[in-house]
Amino acid sequence: MKSCWDSDPSKRPTIKMLENILSDWNMCISEYYRFNRDGNYVYKVPNLDNQLTNNMLEFVEADKALFQEQANTSVIQSHSQAYYTSRKLTEILVQEETQGLDCIIED
């Protein structure tokens, strides 16, 4: 990734090189999740060289960190100037069910 930031543009990777690298990483990540779908997370995917393995693990760890960060972030965060607030759908459905019970339509 640092090569993308090189001050000399001629030393930066071309779009074709980036496409190949990203395709390899995508394949590795997909293979990792296919290989470890039983939940054991062996951190091993067959037929990879060390660089691809390191790249794959970097993305897997980043994915885990992002997932954990999202899990730690409360879903019920509202802006101080928000007019509407979110509620769980079950609360709304229960409220609608109870409101309908006190109305009786007579013929």
Query: What pLDDT, in 10s, does the model give residues 15-37?
Result: 998 898 888 777 777 776 776 66
Q: What pLDDT is attached to residue 40?
A: 64
For the entire predicted model, the pTM comes to 0.38
Q: What pLDDT is attached to residue 16?
A: 93
User: Rounded to an integer, what distance in angstroms lies between the CA atom of residue 31 and that of residue 56?
Assistant: 10
For helices 15-35 and 50-72, the axis angle rounded to 10 degrees is 70
pLDDT of residue 67 exceeding 60, the answer is yes
User: Rounded to an integer, what distance in angstroms lies between the CA atom of residue 17 and that of residue 39?
Assistant: 33
pLDDT band at 97; cut points 50, 70, 90: low
